[in-house]
Amino acid sequence: MTIAKGDKLPDVKLTKATPDGPEAVQSSDFFAGRKVALFAVPGAYTPTCSAKHLPGFVENAEALKAKGVDEIACTSVNDAFVMSAWNKTDGSDDITMLADGSGDFAKALGLDADFSAYGMGQRSNRYSMIVDDGVVTELNVEGPGEFGVSGAEHMLGQL
């Protein structure tokens, strides 16, 4: 079953990339009591993710926060070290990187995808969502090979 608007996020362990190293965090704790703009990418450093998806959220971070977003987070089926390095090279302090190393969060959302044909194995679909106190209020899932509705610009129009 795929997560839908109005659903509560599943409680799954993620790993937050911090300057001091990986930090375990439960999704229920991370999303509790605030509005989070979450976006997911198939992989850190991949072409569309690095050229369009992450940069759009970096460029629009202030505008998203001005519209009531408390935190902007990115998740990917990568480890926390890769997510931290990607944030250092292409991201900003405005983006919290949440590693979903085993893909448990993507699977629990029903938004996992098989990228084996590209040598990447099991990953996450590209999507974005607005989560208000753990509940999905907007959900934007891309079709295979697409980028548009999951971008920061689209999300700004939803807030």
Residues acting as catalytic residues: 49
Instruction: Give the distance, in angstroms, between the CA of residue 129 and the centroid of all CA atoms in the same chain.
Output: 8
| Distance separating alpha carbons of residues 95 and 124, to the nearest angstrom | 18
User: What is the DSSP annotation of 12-48?
Assistant: -EEEEEETTEEEEEEHHHHHTTSEEEEEEES-TT-HH
User: Radius of gyration (Cα) for the chain, nearest Å?
Assistant: 14
Paired sense of beta strands 21-26 and 13-18, if any: antiparallel
Paired sense of beta strands 35-41 and 135-141, if any: unpaired
| Distance separating alpha carbons of residues 21 and 40, to the nearest angstrom | 21
Strand, coil or helix: 134 = coil
